[in-house]
């Protein structure tokens, strides 16, 4: 771990930010087969920050950088990556006033959503960021994203897991990657920004944040969390012509404990009793089933159309306006805890951290 304080105006140990570098394009360097995660991020980040105007350098918080030994393209992240990050933050929670996680963009929103559940009750900022271009690339978005993430991680009023990207601060559990190339790659389509860069200022909107809402809420004890088994939760996105045997191939496997379905529009399934039978059987076996819409905006509920009516009877829970990331990681989160089936179902339909 290295300590760096570029003209920093604070020398209080209690106001340090921990930057956790996991990999991603932001730190990548050219290699024979294409870009790969590069090391020595601490030095490279420090060098990049010296390109900021002097007043902005002086306003930077004190920070330390720690790098994971195995750096990854985030396409290789798994639920165990999410769990390790939560564990590491939890262990160092009181030693730092805020955290920045440097992460690849491809699955950044999945990690953000999972961390938001795992760190429920958080009383300080955890800000994930990355970049569409490596730090050293010409006109890279990396420096601006690092700068903003550090500035928001230094704001004590922010008390949740957030994503900072391209001038926008998004609730972590509401963020989705919506562009594979543009610098403005992330959006929060069903919840407003919780902060943004305005000129040289990094403005947090407390009335939209969890800081005020969750004060005094019970904090989940991470040590009670069992290992999230990979493959326990599956995601099935409907397509026209889906058959019961295809759905059953996913849900019938005894290793599957939960499933996220992505339905049509406001929550519609084809009008085929055999599809509902597969769902009812899985739910009857104690599998946690939930559904959201395939539409990125709006919500899923099962009451509007006759085509969606049988879902509640089949035991499927409505995911309202949750993102796929939020709904999937919530299922994984609930299944990882020692809860009864009824408690899991009840908590799924309750907003735990502003995810719905
Ligand atoms: N493939 C990269 C990753 O997710 C994409 C990026 O970071 N922009 O690690």
Q: How far is the CA of 309 from the centre of ligand 1 (A)?
A: 40
pLDDT class for 8, splitting at 50, 70, 90?
A: very low
Pocket test for ligand 1, best of 34, 129, 130, 178 (most atoms within 8 A of CB): 130
CA-133 nearest atom, ligand 1 = 8
Q: How far is the CA of 247 from the centre of ligand 1 (A)?
A: 31
Domains 2-208 and 227-348 alike in fold: yes
Query: Which class is 2-208 in CATH?
Result: alpha beta
Task: Say if residues 317 and 291 touch (Cβ distance below 8 Å).
Answer: yes
Q: How far is the CA of 178 from the centre of ligand 1 (A)?
A: 13
Among 90, 197, 72, CA closest to 130? 72
Residues β-bridged to residue 260: 235, 290
The verdict on whether residue 350 carries a ligand-binding annotation is no
Q: How far is the CA of 102 from the centre of ligand 1 (A)?
A: 11
pLDDT class for 157, splitting at 50, 70, 90?
A: very high
For residues 76 and 335, give the distance between their C-alpha atoms in angstroms, rounded to a whole number.
22
Indicate if the pLDDT at residue 169 is higher than 70: yes
Q: Which fold has domain 227-348?
A: Rossmann fold (3.40.50)
pLDDT score recorded for residue 264: 94
CA-25 nearest atom, ligand 1 = 7
pLDDT score recorded for residue 220: 54
CA-132 nearest atom, ligand 1 = 8
pLDDT class for 217, splitting at 50, 70, 90?
A: low
pLDDT class for 308, splitting at 50, 70, 90?
A: confident
Query: Whose CA is closest to atom 3 on ligand 1?
Result: 104
Indicate if the pLDDT at residue 296 is higher than 60: yes
Please spell the DSSP secondary structure of 199-241, one letter per residue. Answer: TTEEEE-GGGSHHHHTTTPPPP-GGGPPPPPTTSEEEEE--TT
Tens-digit pLDDT profile for residues 83-140: 999 999 999 999 999 999 999 999 999 999 999 999 998 999 999 999 999 999 999 9
What's the token pair of residue 212? Answer: 């005020």
Tens-digit pLDDT profile for residues 173-205: 999 999 999 999 999 999 999 999 999 999 999
Q: Among 78-87, 90-99, 258-267, 294-303, which is the least confidently predicted range?
A: 294-303
Ligand 1 binding site (Cβ under 6 Å of any ligand atom): 24-25, 73-75, 104-106, 130, 132
The verdict on whether residue 74 carries a ligand-binding annotation is yes
Tens-digit pLDDT profile for residues 9-57: 444 446 899 999 999 999 999 999 899 999 999 999 999 999 999 999 9
Q: Where are the domains of the chain?
A: 2-208, 227-348
**Catalytic (active-site) positions:** 25, 105
Which residues have C-beta within 8 Å of that of residue 83, sequence separation ≥ 6?
Answer: 114, 118, 225, 227, 228
The verdict on whether residue 106 carries a ligand-binding annotation is yes
């Amino acid at each position: 771990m290295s300590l760096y304080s570029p003209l920093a105006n604070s020398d209080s140990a209690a106001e340090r930010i921990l930057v956790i570098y996991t990999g991603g394009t932001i730190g990548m360097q050219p290699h024979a087969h294409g870009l790969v995660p590069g090391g020595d991020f601490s030095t490279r980040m420090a060098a990049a920050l010296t390109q900021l105007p002097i007043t902005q350098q002086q306003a930077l918080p004190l920070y330390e950088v720690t790098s994971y030994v195995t750096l990854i393209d985030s396409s290789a992240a798994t639920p165990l990556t999410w769990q390790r990050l939560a564990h590491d933050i939890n262990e160092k929670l009181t030693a730092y006033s805020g955290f920045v996680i440097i992460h690849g963009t491809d699955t950044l929103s999945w990690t953000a959503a999972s961390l938001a559940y795992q760190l429920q009750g958080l009383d300080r900022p955890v800000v994930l960021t990355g970049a569409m271009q490596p730090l050293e690339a010409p006109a890279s978005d990396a420096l601006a994203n690092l700068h903003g993430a550090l500035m928001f991680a230094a704001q004590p009023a922010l008390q949740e897991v957030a994503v900072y990207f391209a001038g926008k601060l998004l609730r972590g559990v509401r963020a989705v990657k919506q562009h594979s190339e543009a610098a403005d790659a992330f959006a929060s389509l069903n919840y407003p920004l919780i902060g943004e860069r305005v000129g040289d200022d990094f403005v947090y909107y407390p009335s939209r944040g969890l800081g005020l809402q969750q004060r005094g809420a019970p904090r989940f004890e991470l040590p009670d969390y069992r290992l999230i088994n990979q493959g326990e939760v599956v995601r099935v996105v409907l397509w026209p012509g889906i058959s019961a045997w295809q759905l059953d191939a996913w849900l019938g496997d005894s290793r599957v404990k939960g499933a996220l379905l992505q339905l049509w529009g406001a929550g519609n399934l084809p009008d085929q009793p055999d599809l509902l039978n597969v769902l009812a059987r899985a739910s009857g076996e104690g599998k946690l089933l939930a559904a959201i819409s395939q539409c990125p905006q709006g919500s899923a509920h099962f009451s509007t159309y006759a085509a969606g009516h049988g879902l509640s009877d089949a035991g499927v829970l409505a995911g309202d306006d949750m993102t796929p990331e939020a709904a999937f990681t919530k299922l994984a989160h609930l299944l990882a805890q020692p809860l009864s089936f009824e408690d899991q179902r009840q908590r799924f339909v309750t907003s735990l951290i502003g995810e719905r």
